[in-house]
Amino acid sequence: MREPCLDCTIKHLGQAYSLHGELKQGYPKHLLGVIGHLAEASEECMSMSKVLADKIRQYRLLLLENAVDIVFNEKDIDIPYFDLFMEVMQMKKDIGCGNCSKASDDFKERLKQKKS
């Protein structure tokens, strides 16, 4: 199991937010991505804040419960992405973050290989 990571929580919330915007623009297939990224965001912060992880999970379940109506543009569910983002930012301020150094090191290695 990976280390928890608040930066990754933010990344997944951001991706869910972006895809949710596309969903509202009439791209129903993006609901699947929104649901997936909310699940990932919840998992990333679970061991650091069960309360936040459960809150994100509840929004994911709300989307699932209303999926048919959302896909057929009969219902719109708003998720307070910026409130969730600010909760994560407060956690980063209070307790720091998980260990992202492996992902960062992997990225740096790929950049080196690309330049060669």
Q: What is the DSSP string of 15-79?
A: HHHHHHHHHHTT-TTHHHHHHHHHHHHHHHHTTT-HHHHHHHHHHHHHHHHTHHHHHTTS-----
Distance CA 39, CA 92 (A): 20
The mean per-residue pLDDT over the stretch 61-88 comes to 96
In the Cβ-directed half-sphere of 109, how many Cα atoms lie within 13 Å?
6
pLDDT digits 0-9 by tens, 18-62: 999 999 999 999 999 999 999 999 999 998 999 999 999 999 999
